[in-house]
Amino acid sequence: MALIVQKFGGTSVGSIERIKKVAERVARTRREGNDVVVVVSAMAGETDRLISLAHEICKVPDEREYDILVSTGEQVTAPLLAMALKSLGIKAKSFIGFQIGLFTDRAHTKARIVKIETDRIKKELSEGAVVVVAGFQGITEEMEITTLGRGGSDTTAVALASALGADLCEIYTDVEGVYTTDPNICPRARKLKKISYDEMLEMASLGSKVLQTRSVEIAKKYGVPVMVRSSFVDAPGTLVTKEDEEMEKVLVSGVTYNKNEAKISVTRVPDRPGIAARLFGPLAERNINVDMIIQNISHDGYTDMTFTVSKEDFQKALEIVKETAKEIGAEDVIADTEIAKVSVVGTGMRSHSGVAAKMFQALAREGINIMMISTSEIKISCVIDAKYTELAVRTLHDTFELHKEGGRIEEER
Amino acid sequence: MALIVQKFGGTSVGSIERIKKVAERVARTRREGNDVVVVVSAMAGETDRLISLAHEICKVPDEREYDILVSTGEQVTAPLLAMALKSLGIKAKSFIGFQIGLFTDRAHTKARIVKIETDRIKKELSEGAVVVVAGFQGITEEMEITTLGRGGSDTTAVALASALGADLCEIYTDVEGVYTTDPNICPRARKLKKISYDEMLEMASLGSKVLQTRSVEIAKKYGVPVMVRSSFVDAPGTLVTKEDEEMEKVLVSGVTYNKNEAKISVTRVPDRPGIAARLFGPLAERNINVDMIIQNISHDGYTDMTFTVSKEDFQKALEIVKETAKEIGAEDVIADTEIAKVSVVGTGMRSHSGVAAKMFQALAREGINIMMISTSEIKISCVIDAKYTELAVRTLHDTFELHKEGGRIEEER
């Protein structure tokens, strides 16, 4: 008998019919003799509906109130699933954050889980109940309701799996697993059987919407095996797990893209020590994540700074940066929202060279200009004009022969 | 500077535009220098939407899960109103049950408030914030979410007013106050300036939808002055308050009707001591409120028992009663959902006689058959065929001349 955490995303619980299907899936796992904890997202479209209500009230809603509002999405799905399970003769109880002691920090709208009290869940499991948890939300020590950001239910699931010492965390979603790239863009995309935490982390943070970054970080930190699989098709998914030898042989595992970033450039910044801190400090204070940062070489004591933020944070970031730019005597602030970030990811890069050059050549062959470049041990990202996104993805997928299983390494032999 | 509790019902917060209007109303009260606690209902239609989701899953939803589900309705409105207040420059914070320690008993779907911890609210008020509370819900000591039944937000408001020692509890609704009867049925209906708790209690429990019964009971018990007024029209409402001399002079204050009950008759019940307890015990255990009960005289050791329950409880009640009827050897169970209860209410009845006779005569003149009669110190109710409801109401309103201010007593002089 195993303890399994199953998470179902928004489209998986997008209608009453689908919630009933999910109940059948959970019931099967339970009847096989497993203890089951289920984490659910809001029904597809519900979170957006709630957000638009907030935006009808005011342009920049108070974040504390926003969290109380949007956390209701999951609070609707969880009891509906528990009811559906009961209809199938399965004992089930649903819970929201405060009831099971799912504590987070105080960063409203993008809080991080700091502690999960497992007593209540363990008690319910020991009494034979399936425990259904509303994902995406928690409470602070001061009993304030918080949410974990888009995709936060993944994090709820992995954090629960870790806290409970679960044998497996299954993420049921609307795709069959993790692909070499987005199959909607590239028909030759191939489903991966296995992927390392680090690769998944780069894929997730680079825009592949399969798993929330934070959830993969927690899975990696605590060694939680995560299976990504389809709610709709009964097929094996992709196992996100520890790196092994086989993985290291692979040069590039996937190509990802992200159209949800915007670029901000601050021109003619006086190049003094501490100027970067001066520019990015106020953004960090407001909990705005800056992704890529580029600082060009200095001319006459002035430099240009360019960075990207998510489109959600863009307006807020722009206001803050304009303010700071004035204070530090920069010339101008230039924004561009029509950009995309295209990346190649692979554990094998750690021990193989030449991937970057190959990527740049492939993009150049198609006449795609590269605006920004950033690299890590296992990924290379380029910011390009958004209109070339699909072309770039397909070109890179072909260049690294990702349609072939294991074919990604052949070139290097 | 006073402490005022303001409650806004579902139609008052039925759209974003209306929530903004409510915010303006609250802001005005706050700017006049008052401390303000606001209680909100779910946006009109939202609770019904949630209930129908539950019913799509299963016919009789688990009540614990049902409460988690439907409590989200108010949890959406409260933060939206707080956001709207902030947009107007008013400091505001919203709270749900567990955050302010609003404790109830364990009777899911119709819980009663047992304790309100006022520390958190008082702290926020002292810091100058308007406190917005999600109505209709609370938590048990075991941290289970409960709801207070239809109209429960009224009770939340009055209970908060009582716990906080508020100077006034204003109930903003879609009517301008308490009328002598339903103006939709009887165009001559007149708005009352004042009504006693007891009269309001009878009016509320008899089907006038202005205030939840429980809220009036609490108001009476703790002497909370309650003003019922319109969210849409800036006009004086009706004050629900302690009985005074002026009120006692009035024979009949209002005519009410209730089409939301159903009648169940158990025929040829063996007439033994304890048989009523045997019949109604199981209903009480399941938290089903029985309204009128009639037991006819016994023939040959057998009697007939007839009673009414709300239509929501009807199916459940019928199942239970059929079971019990079999066990106690009754002949049959007959149900009728096409009934209405029509009542006249007035504090003056305590000291004046002849009201009942006058009521029966008036109904007889119109050929309306009376199926059941029940009386209290200050009201007389008759169950009639539902199709005569409107006719009966208009007839009684005319008979007691309720269109005339104070006219109700003239006849007795």
Q: Among partner residues A57, A83, A145, which is closest to B65 by beta-carbon distance?
A: A83
**A236-257: string of b/e by CB count within 10 Å (b at 16+)?**
ebbbbbebeeebbbbbbbbbbb
Round to whole Å and give the CA distance between A232 and A229.
Answer: 9
Distance of alpha carbon A85 from the chain centroid: 29
The pLDDT assigned to A412 comes to 36
Statement: residue B130 has pLDDT above 90: yes
Round to whole Å and give the CA distance between A399 and A160.
Answer: 40
Does B86 contact A at CB distance below 8 Å?
yes
Could you tell me the domains of chain B? 3-174 (3.40.1160.10), 244-413 (3.30.2130.10)
Return the amino acid letter for B80.
Answer: L
Predicted TM-score of the model (pTM)? 0.79
For residue B386, how many other CB atoms are within 10 A of its CB?
16
Q: Are strands A145-147 and A290-295 parallel, antiparallel or unpaired?
A: unpaired
Average pLDDT, chain B: 92
**B263 falls in which pLDDT band (50, 70, 90)?**
very high
Is residue B176 within 8 A of residue B168, CB to CB? The reply is: no
Q: Among partner residues A61, A79, A87, which is closest to B69 by beta-carbon distance?
A: A79
Round to whole Å and give the CA distance between A129 and B281.
Answer: 30
Walk across the sheet containing A130-134 and list its strands.
Answer: A92-95, A130-134, A35-40, A3-8, A168-173, A226-230, A238-241, A194-196
- Search chain A and give the residue with CA nearest B66: A79
Phi first, then psi: give them for residue A306, nearest 5 degrees.
-130, 140
Return the amino acid letter for A272.
Answer: R
- Search chain A and give the residue with CA nearest B96: A68
Angle at alpha carbon of residue B190, lines to B184 and B192, rounded to 5°: 120
Q: Within a 13 Å sphere around the CA of A208, how many CA atoms are in the beta-carbon half? A: 28
The pLDDT assigned to B206 comes to 66
Is residue B58 within 8 A of residue A87, CB to CB? The reply is: yes
Does B99 contact A at CB distance below 8 Å?
yes
pLDDT in tens, B166-188: 999 999 988 889 999 988 899 99
Phi first, then psi: give them for residue B267, nearest 5 degrees.
-100, 150
Which positions in chain A touch B78 (Cβ < 8 Å)? 68
SS3 B354: coil
CA distance B87 to chain A (A): 7
Return the amino acid letter for B371.
Answer: M
pLDDT in tens, B206-236: 666 788 888 999 999 999 999 999 988 888 9
pLDDT in tens, B67-83: 999 999 999 999 999 99
By the 10 Å C-beta count (0-12 exposed, 13-18 middle, 19+ buried), A63 is classed as middle
Q: What angle in degrees, to the nearest 10, is found between the helix axes of B389-399 and B355-365?
A: 130
Statement: residue B165 has pLDDT above 70: yes
- Which residues, other chains included, contact B285 with Cβ-Cβ below 8 Å and sequence gap of 6+? none
What is this model's ipTM?
0.78
The pLDDT assigned to B341 comes to 94
Phi first, then psi: give them for residue A64, nearest 5 degrees.
-60, -45
Return the amino acid letter for B359.
Answer: M
Average pLDDT per 10 consecutive residues for chain A, totaling 413 residues:
95 96 97 98 96 95 97 98 98 97 96 96 97 98 94 95 97 90 91 92 75 91 95 91 83 91 93 86 90 82 91 95 94 95 90 85 93 88 95 96 67 35
Pull the structure tokens for residue B171.
């109930």
Round to whole Å and give the CA distance between B171 and A215.
Answer: 46
- Search chain A and give the residue with CA nearest B76: A69
Pull the structure tokens for residue B347.
């504090």
Does B21 contact A at CB distance below 8 Å?
no
The pLDDT assigned to B295 comes to 82
DSSP type of residue A380: E
* More confident site: B297 or A316: A316
Is residue B173 within 8 A of residue B210, CB to CB? The reply is: yes
**B409 falls in which pLDDT band (50, 70, 90)?**
very low
The pLDDT assigned to A29 comes to 97
The pLDDT assigned to A207 comes to 62
- Search chain A and give the residue with CA nearest B91: A62
Contacts of range B25-32, beta carbons closer than 8 Å, 24 or more positions apart: B25/B172, B25/B231, B26/B81, B26/B85, B26/B90, B26/B130, B27/B85, B27/B88, B27/B89, B27/B90, B29/B4, B30/B90, B30/B130, B31/B90
Round to whole Å and give the CA distance between B269 and A365.
Answer: 93
Q: Across the interface, do B65 and A54 touch by the CB < 8 Å criterion?
A: no
Round to whole Å and give the CA distance between B158 and B216.
Answer: 8
The pLDDT assigned to A206 comes to 66
